[in-house]
């Protein structure tokens, strides 16, 4: 794999519990894990580099960062000011006036994104056609600059009405911002209609930008000989020097790496249509991969809409470290609170006392004593049994019955999430192969497939570090957009092409600066369409007006069950630009003698269950459940009624036998 020469490539995924590493050197892959350091994520990365013997080397490091995500989730972003038009200072506070609980007439107050004292109103208002309604005077600009001097924010978000039509006024205000303040312009971040969504996305970019820039700067200074790149939420990588300014595009960088990795190993295994679930230590991400990961512009983080393209996935608070408890009514609940990396599940032996999903598997025997969690931690199943026993005691259950309950509740949470991204969108889950990854995914894959009526599943090689592997498989790229908002019948196809060409010039220039040759850049044009009177859009590929309109009618019928005899409107044009896919090939996994490594008792099974090390199995070797397949970073539980075949790369292809 080269990018201007031969280098060591290192994919890094920073998770809530572990930081995962995949090193590509000489056509071979090495994998590694260390416990995460949430307060300073770069410390775990540097520790892993030292343990891999790479300190001081010239690396090409691609990683998924949780810094921006955590800043939003924990409310620890930068102190941010908002500059907007007169009369719109409370726009981000009012939002869409949606309520989390429809019938709660007295919901608790929610803190506004930007405090009132930090909201600055000014002139510079235009109408939808770009005509000036209120000019931006020199006094207006000076007043904003003086207010920013007085307030001394770390960042400022500039969001003027219809700035996607003409960005002149936003640019003038940005030039007046005092030096040292991070600037986020809506016309640069999200040049689209819907002032609230555009404003929140611009504010999020400002809110997390200084934190992301600071983190990436520290990491680059500690790795002076290396080139650092970051995965974007859309599944493409970007140089770290540019990433901080586009921080809002990094909020799902880790999960995007997982989907990129899932598609990569799916291709190697001959499975292109995947229904994926990534079960890590804290959460589970579910998504559809149909050749390429699907993107959405309707994602959210916390309660905030994120209008930039990101991988279309659904996330729930159920992971290997999710804590199980009984609620006030005695019902068993699992998650969303997690034991995290410190102290972690009870069976880690690091001081944890509350039972988790991982502890339940240990008690049931699905994690045999031979397992080394994260490749290094020895299992302490006795302590886990005590914790599950305490959980079940009020209900008269022993540790094993309590553990079974924890697994069933967790499976139901994940099955419900998988239905959200399939059944609720007009897709039949039985048309897909269920693909599990993350350290805990293989322990649930068979039971989840049974729950959804799926008869084929894939437990990929290196499943526990698949997000890190996906970092290496990601091309460079950009996702660009612009609002047109006109009836499709009134738009000349040439006008759409001109808008796409303008976007292409911007994105191509950035990719060229990162070393991508213009002739290697692929263009993926699309348009967002809707029926007249609708609020939401559907995106289809742009192939000219007649073909794209026909595709919209078909997609609307698939998604909602009907099509309308109404005029169609074109709202946004979109352009995906992508460099060449890295020349990464999944190397064959060495084969063993095909013999199991041992047997272990499993609750509910009458005789000891065999277990294999994945690398001890032969290519083409088949086995039937109940059985377990272990590797350095994950365990696959092959339930009764399921069979498995190992391919030459080490992937396990699972199939229902009964």
How many Å apart are CA 23 and CA 550, to the nearest integer? 46
Beta-carbon contacts of residue 297 (< 8 Å; ≥ 6 apart): 307, 308, 309, 310, 481, 528, 539
Strand partners, 363: none
Q: What percent of the chain has pLDDT over 70?
A: 97
**Smallest Cα–Cα separation from 577: which of 237, 339, 344, 329?**
237
Beta-carbon contacts of residue 52 (< 8 Å; ≥ 6 apart): 10, 21, 23, 30, 32
CB count within 10 Å of CB 574 equals 23
Q: Report the pLDDT averaged over residues 331-359.
A: 85
**Smallest Cα–Cα separation from 539: which of 297, 237, 281, 339?**
297
Which residue stretches of 421-568 are H helix? 445-452, 466-473, 493-513, 545-560
pLDDT band for position 372 (50/70/90)? low
DSSP 2: B
Asked if pLDDT for residue 14 goes beyond 90, the answer is no
pTM summary value: 0.85
How many Å apart are CA 508 and CA 556, to the nearest integer? 32
- Residue 343 preceded by cis peptide, ω within 30: yes
Question: For 383-429, what is each residue's pLDDT tens digit?
Answer: 999 999 999 999 888 999 999 999 999 999 999 999 999 998 889 99
* Locus of tokens 């429809």: 102
Maximum pairwise Cα distance, the chain = 83
CB count within 10 Å of CB 349 equals 16
Asked if pLDDT for residue 2 goes beyond 50, the answer is no
Question: For 451-460, what is each residue's pLDDT tens digit?
Answer: 999 999 999 9
Per DSSP, the three-state class of 500 is: helix
Beta-carbon contacts of residue 111 (< 8 Å; ≥ 6 apart): none
Structure confidence at residue 31 (pLDDT): 87
pLDDT band for position 376 (50/70/90)? low
Asked if pLDDT for residue 484 goes beyond 80, the answer is yes
pLDDT band for position 314 (50/70/90)? confident
Structure confidence at residue 1 (pLDDT): 38
How many Å apart are CA 33 and CA 375, to the nearest integer? 7
| Burial per residue of 320-333, b for 16 or more beta-carbon CB atoms within 10 angstroms, e otherwise | bbbbbeeeeeeebe
Structure confidence at residue 462 (pLDDT): 87
Beta-carbon contacts of residue 566 (< 8 Å; ≥ 6 apart): 531, 532, 533
* Locus of tokens 């063993």: 592
Phi and psi of 337, rounded to 5°? -65, 140
Length reported for the chain: 658
244 contacts 212 by C-beta, under 8 angstroms: yes
Alpha carbon separation from 372 to 128, 342, 377, 438, 541 (Å, rounded): 61, 17, 5, 15, 47
| Burial per residue of 71-81, b for 16 or more beta-carbon CB atoms within 10 angstroms, e otherwise | bbeeeebbebb
How many Å apart are CA 311 and CA 260, to the nearest integer? 10
Q: How many helices (H) and strands (E) does the chain have?
A: 16, 37
Beta-carbon contacts of residue 474 (< 8 Å; ≥ 6 apart): 62, 231, 235, 236, 237, 256, 257, 260, 582
pLDDT band for position 3 (50/70/90)? very low
Question: For 233-271, what is each residue's pLDDT tens digit?
Answer: 999 999 998 998 999 999 988 889 989 999 999 999 999
Domains of the chain as residue ranges with CATH? 8-72+213-253 (3.30.420.40), 77-206 (3.40.50), 477-578 (3.30.1490), 598-656 (no CATH)
How many Å apart are CA 426 and CA 408, to the nearest integer? 26
Question: For 124-134, what is each residue's pLDDT tens digit?
Answer: 999 999 999 99
Asked if pLDDT for residue 5 goes beyond 70, the answer is no
Asked if pLDDT for residue 557 goes beyond 60, the answer is yes
How many Å apart are CA 469 and CA 527, to the nearest integer? 31
Ramachandran area for residue 533 (φ above 0: left; ψ -120 to 50: alpha; else beta)? left
Mean pLDDT is highest, among 33-37, 154-158, 585-589, 617-621, for 154-158
Strand partners, 117: none
CB count within 10 Å of CB 624 equals 12
Strand partners, 642: 656
Which tokens in the block code for residue 435?
């693909």
Structure confidence at residue 341 (pLDDT): 66
Asked if pLDDT for residue 178 goes beyond 90, the answer is yes
Question: For 320-338, what is each residue's pLDDT tens digit?
Answer: 888 999 988 888 998 888 8
How many Å apart are CA 469 and CA 265, to the nearest integer? 9
């Amino acid at each position: 794999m080269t990018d201007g020469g031969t280098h060591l490539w290192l994919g890094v995924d920073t998770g809530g519990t572990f930081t995962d590493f995949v090193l590509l050197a000489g056509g071979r892959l090495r994998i590694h894990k260390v416990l995460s350091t949430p307060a300073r994520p770069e410390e775990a990365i540097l520790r892993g580099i030292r343990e891999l013997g790479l300190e001081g080397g010239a690396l090409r490091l691609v990683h998924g960062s949780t810094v921006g995500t955590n800043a939003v989730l924990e409310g620890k972003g930068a102190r941010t000011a908002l500059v907007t038009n007169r009369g719109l200072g409370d726009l981000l506070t009012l939002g869409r006036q949606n309520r989390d609980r429809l019938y709660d007439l007295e919901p608790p107050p929610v803190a506004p994104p930007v405090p009132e004292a930090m909201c600055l109103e000014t002139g510079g208002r235009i109408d939808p056609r770009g005509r000036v309604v209120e000019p931006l005077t020199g006094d207006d600009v000076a007043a904003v600059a003086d207010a920013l001097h007085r307030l001394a924010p770390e960042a400022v978000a500039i969001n003027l009405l219809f700035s996607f039509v003409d960005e002149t006024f936003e640019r003038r205000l940005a030039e007046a911002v005092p030096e040292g303040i991070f600037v986020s312009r809506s016309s640069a971040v999200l040049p689209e209609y819907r002032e609230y969504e555009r404003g929140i996305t611009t504010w999020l970019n400002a809110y997390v930008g200084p934190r992301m820039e600071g983190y990436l700067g520290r990491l680059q200074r500690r790795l002076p000989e290396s080139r650092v790149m970051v995965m974007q939420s859309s599944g493409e990588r970007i140089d770290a020097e540019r990433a901080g300014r586009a921080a809002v595009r990094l909020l799902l960088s880790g999960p995007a790496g997982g989907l990129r990795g899932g598609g990569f190993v799916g291709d190697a295994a001959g499975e292109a249509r995947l229904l994926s679930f990534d079960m890590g230590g804290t959460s589970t991400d579910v998504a559809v991969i149909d050749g390429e990961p699907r993107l959405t512009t309707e994602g959210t983080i916390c309660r905030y809409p994120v209008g930039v393209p990101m991988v279309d996935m659904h996330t729930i608070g159920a992971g290997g470290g999710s804590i199980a408890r009984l609620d006030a009514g005695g019902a068993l609940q699992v998650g969303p609170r997690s034991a995290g990396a410190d102290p972690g599940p009870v069976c880690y032996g690091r001081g944890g006392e509350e039972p988790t999903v991982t502890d339940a598997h240990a008690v049931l025997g699905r994690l045999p004593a031979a397992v080394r969690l994260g490749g290094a931690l020895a299992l302490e199943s006795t302590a886990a049994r005590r914790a599950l026993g305490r959980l079940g005691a009020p209900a008269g259950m022993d540790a094993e019955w309590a553990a079974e309950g924890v697994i069933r509740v967790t499976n139901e949470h994940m099955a419900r999430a998988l239905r959200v991204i399939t059944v609720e969108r007009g897709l039949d889950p039985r048309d897909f192969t269920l693909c599990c990854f993350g350290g805990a995914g293989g322990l649930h894959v068979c039971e989840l497939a049974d729950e959804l009526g799926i008869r084929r599943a894939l437990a990929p090689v290196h499943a526990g570090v698949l997000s890190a592997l996906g970092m290496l498989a990601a091309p460079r790229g950009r996702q660009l957009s612009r609002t047109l908002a006109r009836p499709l019948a009134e738009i000349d196809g040439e006008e759409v092409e001109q808008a796409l060409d303008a976007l292409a010039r911007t994105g191509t220039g950035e990719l060229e600066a990162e070393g991508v040759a213009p002739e290697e850049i692929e263009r993926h044009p699309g348009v967002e369409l809707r029926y007249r009177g609708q609020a939401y859009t559907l995106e289809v590929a742009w192939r000219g007006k007649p073909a794209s309109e026909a595709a919209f009618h078909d997609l609307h019928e698939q998604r909602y069950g009907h099509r309308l005899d109404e005029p169609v409107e074109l709202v946004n044009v979109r352009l995906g630009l992508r460099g060449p896919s890295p020349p990464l090939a999944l190397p064959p996994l060495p084969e063993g003698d095909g013999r199991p490594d041992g047997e272990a008792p499993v609750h509910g099974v009458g005789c000891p269950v065999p277990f294999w090390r994945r690398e001890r199995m032969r290519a083409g070797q088949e086995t039937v459940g109940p059985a377990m397949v272990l590797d350095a970073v994950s365990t696959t539980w092959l339930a009764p009624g399921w069979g498995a075949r190992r391919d030459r790369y080490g992937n396990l292809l699972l199939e229902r036998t009964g």
